[in-house]
A and B are shown apart, each in its own frame.
Chain A
């Protein structure tokens, strides 16, 4: 133990001076969840499979909504997404003062709208 104590005097710190120095996320780490909404078909599989039920999909309003504070970052939705438009960034979500949902609106092109109406 005494040897260890003296070693600690000369070795570098075991901790990082966060947030000045931030460790980059590991590849494949499950960080912040996002949706590339332009590729999304609003199929709703992610909402059905989610164990914490933090995703809501509205096809009527073309909305994809995520409550990031209820999300458990299990990656089930990312694995299940047929279009692979859901992504986990490797960085974690930053702390927030107010809990807000991530609401993404899918812009439907006029051409598609006509098809939808027909």
Chain B
């Protein structure tokens, strides 16, 4: 049969956000995939010219709803580096707690969407039910459910009382129990395996060459995680990147599933070692200079470039989000796959298009 070009997206039932792929198909088999962007560009980086550097924290939080805390943390780390501010130890631990809570709820959201993509609706409902507990923790500790707004230049705006810490630990016990009850479903279920094992294989070499990031990279056998840079309080926490070697959609699911449990453990460790003291230091003056800051988001490595000129407005703010790095691997893993597997494979890189286009 001759080649047909099938437009996939930007509006598609499986896509939570708009991305367009031109799929060249021959006998239901994808031969080529060409991605196109530009449906949710909001010009948030340009806003740095109109909002001062303190107000930009609330703007960068809105680059991505799901990992808002980690975006703001990265931005604040950059500015703290420029202004030579040292965040108090307690503030660093609190940042780790909230960022790992964000990772848990992001991965639980993704695991649900992923199950939904291959038609496993009950698993989707189960994961999202568990996720509600994390959202409640966020609301009770930080004030808001998703965009928690706890960061400020020099530390965090909220503190955790010992009773709150106990309550978080209690809730996390429930979360861990409920997540582990779904472990056999995600790792040993006929439906899940049939739809994901051997699909969209990204070899170790391909993942490295194409610059994959985050769980997509780690599922191909490369143990790279920006938390190894030991920013904030990660130098005191026991942490090993989760690695799978198969490089298929199934491995990417497993990496995220295991990272959810790992993050629960990291929150426990951080609460156990939470030191006393201030949560923030007051900052004076204006930032000046250039800095590149990297953190690990639920989707992978996120990079912030900040250029400040000594006034309250930044010269340039540039954000490289993990999904942007994962688009070339996606385009490389699609050829040879059946058209029916394309939704699962797109979901398997955990695309966040609003991040990518900002």
Interface residues of A (CB under 8 A from B): 1, 4-5, 14, 26-30, 49-52, 72-76, 79, 88
Contacts and interface: CB of A to CB of B under 8 A. Distances in A.
B157 interface: yes
Contacts of A72: 58, 62, 147, 149
A27 B189 CA distance: 41
Contact of A52 (B56, B58, B122): B58
A38 to B, nearest CB: 25
Given A49-B55, A88-B143, 6 more contacts: A4-B181, A30-B144, A49-B54, A50-B55, A51-B58, A74-B149
Interface of B: 51, 54-59, 62, 122-123, 126, 129, 132, 136, 139-140, 143-144, 147, 149, 157-158, 181, 184-185, 189
A64 B140 CA distance: 29
Contacts of A79: 157
Nearest to B143: A30
B266 to A, nearest CB: 23
A79 B126 CA distance: 38
Contacts, number: 53
A79 B152 CA distance: 12
Contact of B139 (A5, A26, A52, A76): A26
A1 B185 contact: yes
- Complex A-B, nearest 6 residue pairs according to Cβ-Cβ distance, in ascending order: A51-B58, A30-B143, A51-B55, A26-B140, A74-B149, A14-B129
Nearest to B130: A14
A51 B136 contact: no
B129 A29 contact: no
B139 A51 contact: no
A38 B234 CA distance: 47
A75 B149 contact: yes
Nearest to A76: B58
Contacts of A50: 55
B130 to A, nearest CB: 10
Contacts of B54: 49
Nearest to B144: A30
Contacts of A30: 143-144, 149
Nearest to B157: A79
Nearest to B178: A4
A14 B133 CA distance: 11
